[in-house]
Amino acid sequence: MGIHDGIDGLIAGNIKEMKWSDVTGWVSTGGAHLGTKRTLPGHRMGLIASRLQEFKIQALLIIGGFEGYQAALQFTEGRDEHEAFRIPIMVIPSTISNNVPGTEFSLGCDTALNEITEICDRIRQSAQGTKRRVFIIETMGGYCGYLATLAGLAGGADAAYIYEEKFTIKDLQMDVYHMATKMSEGVQRGLILRNEKASDNYNTDFIYRLYAEEGKGLFSARMNVLGHMQQGGSPTPFDRNLGTKMAAKAVDWLVCQLKNNTELDSSEIQCTDPNTACLLGIVKRQYQCTSLMALKAQTNFDQRIPKEQWWLKLRPLLRILAKHDSTYEEEGMYMSIEDRALVDPLYG
């Protein structure tokens, strides 16, 4: 059964049977054919539970971003009050922001990253043959700076401002001076990325005006807000394969949970264990199902981001490539003094 328009569609009963012919060609197109809405269950849990019982839904697969994860978590927490939620619940994280806990990659973030990188390349190419120019580009992602950071690495950005790494006016001043130095040494084009919610006061327009004012006589500045262009485009091979694999693994998991949690005498499904409501993600190059209740402690719900994000370790590398004074420490790169003494007798 396909539920159209998210939670609102479920409450409205906008549920239709889906066959193979209905999903033909979906793997090669972006977007959400079922429709999405960012609404959460909230106080409407009773209505949702009655709809699940009305349509005899025995397992639920939610494909969505942070709101999809949060809705599934609310369903899990509502199991004590509503029996309709005592069914297997699986979440496949799908958002360009890559801000869902329990996975290192969300479905769609690779496609968006490719789009941003390609747009940045086009923008820089447009300045060929002109005088020295710096481009200030705003990316999407909410409070999550994944897109700005990885696009900055891929596109050779001189700086990428994000919410997770606080910056002050002194940091902006140092970056402006550094850009001026590079321009005086013969560099023709500069690229500055800023995540849309990196700072309330140091917004994209402020940074653009700062570079435009300080660069007078040396370089000019241009501002671009990419907006919904990042959400378009055909899915990359990585996302196509990821979606297919995740769907197959999710269905296999749901069938397994149905077999293990169906009572033989009454044929009722009773999923009360926290491990019967999970999120399927990629953790250290492996597919992993993590309990939604376990992920709750790993989530910053105010900013809608995970408390720990692997890509933040790449931030020093971004500054090194932009010729800043910085160091990059790879995980497991350095040994303790005791371990070093064991392998190197001359150490010390």
Rounded to two decimals, what is the model's pTM?
Answer: 0.86
Residues 27 and 72 in one domain: yes
Residues 163 and 96 in one domain: no
Of 205, 232, 259, the one marking the end of a domain is 232
Taking residues 54-67, report their average pLDDT.
Answer: 93
Residue 69: count of CB within 10 angstroms of its CB: 27
Q: Does one domain contain both 103 and 16?
A: yes
Asked if residue 202 is part of any domain, the answer here is yes
The sign of the dihedral angle between the CA atoms of 20, 21, 27, 32 is negative
Residue length of the chain: 348
Tokens 């420490």 locate to 329
Strands of the chain (E only): list them: 2-3, 15-16, 60-64, 89-93, 133-139, 159-161, 189-195, 220-225, 277-283, 286-291, 299-300, 305-306
pLDDT tens digits, 165-176: 999 999 999 999
Query: Is position 86 within any domain?
Result: yes
Query: Closest Cα partner for 247 from 296, 291, 287, 293?
Result: 287
75 in a domain, yes or no? yes
Please determine, for residue 130, whether its predicted confidence score (pLDDT) is greater than 90: no
Q: How many domains does the chain have?
A: 2
Burial class (CB in 10 A: 0-12, 13-18, 19+), 209: middle
Assess whether 36 and 74 both reside in one domain: yes
Distance CA 92, CA 109 (A): 13
The domain boundary, picked from 213, 232, 251, lies at: 232
Predicted confidence (pLDDT) per residue in 256-274, tens digit:
999 998 887 777 888 989 9
Residue 334 banded pLDDT, cuts 50, 70, 90: very low
Residue 26, pLDDT score: 87
Q: Are residues 93 and 121 in the same domain?
A: no
> What confidence tier does 335 reach under pLDDT thresholds 50, 70, 90?
very low
Mean pLDDT, all residues of the chain: 88
User: Final residue of a domain: which of 181, 215, 232?
Assistant: 232
Count CB atoms within 10 A of the CB of residue 293.
15
pLDDT score of 343: 43
**pLDDT attached to residue 227:** 85
CATH number at residue 129: 3.40.50.460
Mark whether 42 and 93 lie in a shared domain: yes
Is pLDDT above 60 for 131? yes
Residue 232 per-residue DSSP state: -
Are residues 51 and 81 located together in one domain of the fold?
Answer: yes
Co-location of 52 and 93 in the same domain:
yes
Across the range 69-94, mean pLDDT stands at 94
pLDDT of residue 25: 85
Residues 147 and 170 in one domain: yes
Does a structural domain hold residue 325? no
pLDDT surpasses 50 at 87 = yes
Q: Is pLDDT of 340 > 80?
A: no
331 in any annotated domain: no
Q: What is the CATH number of the domain that holds 277?
A: 3.40.50.450
Contacts for 117 with CB less than 8 Å, ≥ 6 apart: 151, 154, 155
The answer to whether 33 and 16 have CB atoms below 8 angstroms apart is no
Percent of the chain with pLDDT over 90: 65
**Residue 312: inside a domain:** no
Give Cβ neighbours of residue 238 (< 8 Å, ≥ 6 apart): 110
- Judging by DSSP bridges, how do beta strands 89-93 and 305-306 pair with one another? unpaired
- Give the model confidence (pLDDT) of 63-76 as tens digits: 999 999 999 999 99
Quick one: average pLDDT of 209-214?
93
State the DSSP H helix or E strand holding residue 208, giving kind and residue range, or none if neither.
helix 204-214
Q: Are residues 197 and 166 in the same domain?
A: yes
Examine residue 139 and state whether it is found in any structural domain, yes or no: yes
For residues 8 and 93, membership in a common domain is answered with yes
- Any domain includes 271: yes
Q: Report, as an integer, the average pLDDT of 111-124.
A: 91
CA distance linking residue 216 with residue 168, whole number of Å? 22
- The residue assigned the tokens 């500045």 is 221
Structural domain including 162 reads 114-232
